[in-house]
A and B are shown apart, each in its own frame.
Chain A
């Protein structure tokens, strides 16, 4: 079944061109020309991805994204806008956008990014080989429900936090760099600040949240900060938060 894309764009010419190209690539497309219509269409749950303009009549793209995310809807949102400042880009991504492309864009690049989002969404949905419940430092993390059972009670996790833990679990025993996490969890190849992870989901904080902090030791090795999470042989994860200079 083809993936369904909702195009939210008030400029008919651009919407028409997008529809034509995306349908030629095998996607199913629906066009909405205003913000309020977009919210209704997204709430209907019939779409797999939203291409969202920011400057829209009725409600701005930012408003639409904020509203959708506040309702707990995790549908991938790709901002497609003429607003190219870092402030707007950061705001869009912080509100829960999955990617941000500025106009004028290359249609090829857009299609590649859409496919990357779908791949990431697929990875988000995939259950680890040993089930959707992850054992971690004495806590149980339910990747499907975004919750953790800790010694001190249940804890709610965000989607991104869950996905970082999932990635760490998948790469058990290997080095996971900042770029790995950005690419796999956020899907960005370019972002205004590479401090995204530290700003939003610092691993130490996530581990603290799931009460696995006792299993963390932090060491400094020549400007390289290494978090070594060890549950005495049960789970061993190594995580580089800063790539050492000279290492490629």
Chain B
């Protein structure tokens, strides 16, 4: 928590600093209130005890004077007038044991009330402060992810545009041999594809997020759709010569799903594995039945991630690491899309890794066709 506070404070964006100042002031005020209330209650308890003691002292002095006046009727009068007092042996007057017990019980019950109310009040303050802190932290994380997305999108868009513009200028202004011109045109074609891919991905994301998920769902052979999606990617992936793609599928597994969206899930997961795999790395795709689920696993031998990062990988615009030292392309939408699509199919997503540099496994589960009605 302290680290988060320190990082947020160092954040140059002033609105967040202001939020943290307000958060700190409210927290301090709540803690001060709680402390003041505790001190007040403690003093109040002591005041009640000392008032009772001084009241008894006054009663004892009055009773001592009366003893001389009343003589033999004194005991009866004492019982009627001051029920908390009694005559002790040797003629002394003292506070009865039962009265002291009642006072102790009163003090004890006040203390219990004080502790339970204090604990409740303290818990309330703590929950409020923690809730505020979480909200603030979430707001900062969203802001950070959005700025990462903007930086990544800007980079991803500008890089092919820069290359295209430069090659266009070069072709226009320089006399080059035909083979060099052909080489440049090939580079430009690759850049155009890259640009087109990015725009397609952004549009797909928009479609997935706005479309009604149920309308396109049908009874689908998931095994077949998975194989189809992977086959489409095999050519592109193995063309690079850097990766090997292996698929192991149980056939005949059906689910109630949108086939195009399911293919998008498979492609995004394989794409993600390709991005983070080392040259020569093997990517394995498994599809199998697990109890009432169809489970798709994509396993790579790539960079992996720290275990505490697993839950954040599926967040929108989340990109692991520092944007200035990025080694992979992308804008932080792929895994988010996977999660959204799978959730719309009443499924679930998981990411596992034994740590950085130790590969990763992404698992998607959707209910088998027969299970949908019971889900």
Identity of the chain A residue whose Cβ is nearest the Cβ of B327 in the assembled complex: A57
Q: With an 8 A cutoff between CB atoms, is B191 at the interface?
A: yes
A104 touches B325 (CB 8 A): no
Specify which chain B residues have a CB less than 8 angstroms from the CB of A13 in the assembled complex: 160, 163, 167, 187, 190-191
User: Given A24-B174, A106-B169, A107-B169 in contact, is the A55-B323 Cβ separation under 8 Å?
Assistant: yes
User: Given A16-B187, A107-B169 in contact, is the A61-B324 Cβ separation under 8 Å?
Assistant: yes
Q: With an 8 A cutoff between CB atoms, is B159 at the interface?
A: yes
Specify which chain B residues have a CB less than 8 angstroms from the CB of A5 in the assembled complex: none
**Interface hits, B202-235 → A, CB 8 Å:** none
Q: With an 8 A cutoff between CB atoms, is A223 at the interface?
A: no
Q: With an 8 A cutoff between CB atoms, is B93 at the interface?
A: no
**Interface hits, A27-67 → B, CB 8 Å:** 35, 54-63
B158 touches A82 (CB 8 A): yes
| Cα(A13)–Cα(B322), bound, Å | 23
B322 touches A60 (CB 8 A): yes
B367 to chain A, nearest CB (A): 41
Q: With an 8 A cutoff between CB atoms, is A4 at the interface?
A: no
| Cα(A106)–Cα(B170), bound, Å | 10
Identity of the chain A residue whose Cβ is nearest the Cβ of B180 in the assembled complex: A20
Q: With an 8 A cutoff between CB atoms, is A11 at the interface?
A: yes
Q: With an 8 A cutoff between CB atoms, is B198 at the interface?
A: no
| Cα(A84)–Cα(B159), bound, Å | 13
Specify which chain B residues have a CB less than 8 angstroms from the CB of A57 in the assembled complex: 325-327
Q: With an 8 A cutoff between CB atoms, is B306 at the interface?
A: no
B324 touches A54 (CB 8 A): yes
| Cα(A189)–Cα(B191), bound, Å | 31
Q: With an 8 A cutoff between CB atoms, is B151 at the interface?
A: yes
Specify which chain A residues have a CB less than 8 angstroms from the CB of B154 in the assembled complex: 82-84
Specify which chain B residues have a CB less than 8 angstroms from the CB of A84 in the assembled complex: 154
**Interface hits, B127-169 → A, CB 8 Å:** 151, 154-155, 158-167, 169
B155 touches A17 (CB 8 A): no
| Cα(A16)–Cα(B155), bound, Å | 18
Specify which chain A residues have a CB less than 8 angstroms from the CB of B161 in the assembled complex: 103-104
A56 touches B325 (CB 8 A): yes
**Interface hits, A63-109 → B, CB 8 Å:** 63, 82-84, 103-108
B325 touches A59 (CB 8 A): yes
Specify which chain A residues have a CB less than 8 angstroms from the CB of B173 in the assembled complex: 107-108
**Interface hits, B320-344 → A, CB 8 Å:** 322-327
A103 touches B159 (CB 8 A): yes
Specify which chain A residues have a CB less than 8 angstroms from the CB of B325 in the assembled complex: 35, 55-60, 63
Specify which chain A residues have a CB less than 8 angstroms from the CB of B322 in the assembled complex: 60
Specify which chain B residues have a CB less than 8 angstroms from the CB of A18 in the assembled complex: 166
Specify which chain A residues have a CB less than 8 angstroms from the CB of B160 in the assembled complex: 13
A4 to chain B, nearest CB (A): 21
B40 to chain A, nearest CB (A): 50
Identity of the chain A residue whose Cβ is nearest the Cβ of B160 in the assembled complex: A13
Specify which chain B residues have a CB less than 8 angstroms from the CB of A83 in the assembled complex: 151, 154-155
B163 touches A17 (CB 8 A): yes
| Cα(A24)–Cα(B175), bound, Å | 10
Specify which chain A residues have a CB less than 8 angstroms from the CB of B164 in the assembled complex: 104
Q: With an 8 A cutoff between CB atoms, is A14 at the interface?
A: yes
A123 to chain B, nearest CB (A): 29
Identity of the chain A residue whose Cβ is nearest the Cβ of B166 in the assembled complex: A17
Specify which chain B residues have a CB less than 8 angstroms from the CB of A108 in the assembled complex: 169, 173
Binary CB contact string for chain A from 9 to 27 against chain B (1 if under 8 A, 0 otherwise)? 0110110111011001000
Specify which chain B residues have a CB less than 8 angstroms from the CB of A58 in the assembled complex: 325
B187 touches A82 (CB 8 A): no
User: Given A21-B166, A82-B154, A104-B165 in contact, is the A14-B159 Cβ separation under 8 Å?
Assistant: yes
| Cα(A83)–Cα(B156), bound, Å | 11
| Cα(A21)–Cα(B187), bound, Å | 15
Specify which chain A residues have a CB less than 8 angstroms from the CB of B184 in the assembled complex: 17
Q: What are the 3 closest A-B residue pairs judged by CB atoms, nearest first?
A: A60-B324, A103-B162, A104-B162
18 A-B pairs (CB sep. < 8 Å): A10-B327, A11-B163, A13-B160, A14-B162, A14-B163, A17-B170, A18-B166, A55-B151, A55-B323, A56-B325, A57-B325, A61-B324, A82-B158, A83-B151, A103-B159, A104-B164, A106-B165, A108-B169
Name A's B-contacting residues (CB within 8 A).
Answer: 10-11, 13-14, 16-18, 20-21, 24, 35, 54-63, 82-84, 103-108
New contact pairs (6) apart from A11-B159, A14-B159, A103-B162, CB-CB < 8 Å: A17-B163, A55-B151, A60-B325, A104-B165, A105-B166, A106-B169
Name B's A-contacting residues (CB within 8 A).
Answer: 151, 154-155, 158-167, 169-170, 173-174, 184, 187, 190-191, 322-327
